Homo-oligomer: A and B are copies of this chain.
Amino acid sequence: MSIFIIGSGNVAWHLCAALRKSNVKIAGIYSRDQQKGEQIAQKFNTEWYVQLNLIPKNASIYLLCVSDDAIKPVSESLPKSILKSKIVAHTSGSKSMEDTLIDCKNGGVFYPLQTFTKGKKMEYKNIPFCINGKNKKTIKKLMEVANTISTSVQVISDEQRKNIHLSAVLINNFVNHLIYVSGELLHQNEIDPEILQPLLLETIQKQQHLGAFQAQTGPARRMDADTMSAHLDLLKRNKEMKTIYMAISKSIQKTYNKKK
């Protein structure tokens, strides 16, 4: 089994590192960008290709580690023999197989549910992999590869994956933004935002311990109108944050009114 990597961004780097750790052969790397292509190929001791029609045709799997918009055009430019007989899988959370891997007979999905940071090490064995494929053979092969990397591999339908991706945006992008705006609020009041980190860690541990439903506290949960109105007053010059504050508070109130 050997895997050809298409792309040279964060996902390509981390999947190459994960595959090398699992002793899966990397058949080569395609990248339009010369500097990035040479860098990643050198790092993982493989060949760099800049023309899709010249890439090796004998790898088992071609992994598209490219941006969502590039999946369709890049897959359409792959050599015909690859499209007909090889597995071509993308790594996107939001794109369906049908819309993007149109001519790939053995199209599939190999989606690692994680945020990757350039140069930051991580435990690959904990990354949940969401696998899909146009046929059983494709699913089986992609599961095999994912299982060499991680202990958390599942077959996930395209519809399910779209919901996972949306959840990932809430858990990663939105949580991160709340951390950012909290930090800004403290900066403006001459307080080091580091003061929030122990609370953030305990918030994560508490929901693991109790579940997020039970773990909820605070003014919205206890319908404390005075504190909420004092908070909105502190945010009076920040229209976006005021809207966020009201929207999430309303959703919390509805959650606990409903379930009481």
Q: Is A231 an interface residue (CB 8 A)?
A: yes
Q: How far is the CA of A100 from the CA of B136 in the complex (A)?
A: 68
Majority DSSP secondary structure for residues of A touching B: helix
Interface residues of A in 174-200 (CB under 8 A from B): 174-183, 185-186, 188-191, 193, 195-200
Q: Is A42 an interface residue (CB 8 A)?
A: no
Q: Mark A207-222, 1 if CB is under 8 A from B, else 0.
A: 1111011011111110
In the complex, residue of chain B having the shortest beta-carbon distance to the beta carbon of A183: B212
The size of the chain A interface, using a CB distance under 8 A, is 88
Interface residues of A in 137-188 (CB under 8 A from B): 152, 154, 156, 159-160, 162-183, 185-186, 188
Query: Which residues does chain B contribute within 8 Å of A117, judged by CB atoms?
Result: 206, 209-210, 215
Determine if A68 and B224 form an interchain contact, defined as CB atoms under 8 angstroms apart.
Answer: yes
Determine if A190 and B160 form an interchain contact, defined as CB atoms under 8 angstroms apart.
Answer: yes
Q: How far is the CA of A195 from the CA of B127 in the complex (A)?
A: 9
Q: Is A70 an interface residue (CB 8 A)?
A: no
Tell me, rounded to whole Å, the shortest Cβ–Cβ distance linking A110 to chain B: 15
In the complex, residue of chain B having the shortest beta-carbon distance to the beta carbon of A242: B247
Given A176-B207, A216-B180, A247-B247: A162 in contact with B230 (beta carbons within 8 A): yes
Determine if B182 and A178 form an interchain contact, defined as CB atoms under 8 angstroms apart.
Answer: no
Query: Which residues does chain B contribute within 8 Å of A250, judged by CB atoms?
Result: 240, 243
Chain-B contact segment, one of A23-31, A80-88, A251-259: A251-259
Q: How far is the CA of A113 from the CA of B202 in the complex (A)?
A: 11
Tell me, rounded to whole Å, the shortest Cβ–Cβ distance linking A214 to chain B: 9
Q: Is A35 an interface residue (CB 8 A)?
A: no
Determine if A218 and B173 form an interchain contact, defined as CB atoms under 8 angstroms apart.
Answer: yes
Tell me, rounded to whole Å, the shortest Cβ–Cβ distance linking A142 to chain B: 17
21 A/B residue pairs, CB under 8 Å, sorted by A: A94-B230, A113-B195, A113-B196, A113-B198, A114-B198, A117-B215, A160-B190, A160-B191, A164-B186, A167-B185, A168-B199, A170-B178, A171-B182, A171-B200, A171-B203, A172-B217, A174-B178, A174-B248, A176-B206, A181-B251, A240-B250
Determine if A114 and B163 form an interchain contact, defined as CB atoms under 8 angstroms apart.
Answer: no
Determine if A113 and B166 form an interchain contact, defined as CB atoms under 8 angstroms apart.
Answer: no
Tell me, rounded to whole Å, the shortest Cβ–Cβ distance linking A141 to chain B: 22
Determine if A199 and B172 form an interchain contact, defined as CB atoms under 8 angstroms apart.
Answer: yes
Q: Is A15 an interface residue (CB 8 A)?
A: no
Q: Is A52 an interface residue (CB 8 A)?
A: no
Tell me, rounded to whole Å, the shortest Cβ–Cβ distance linking A252 to chain B: 5
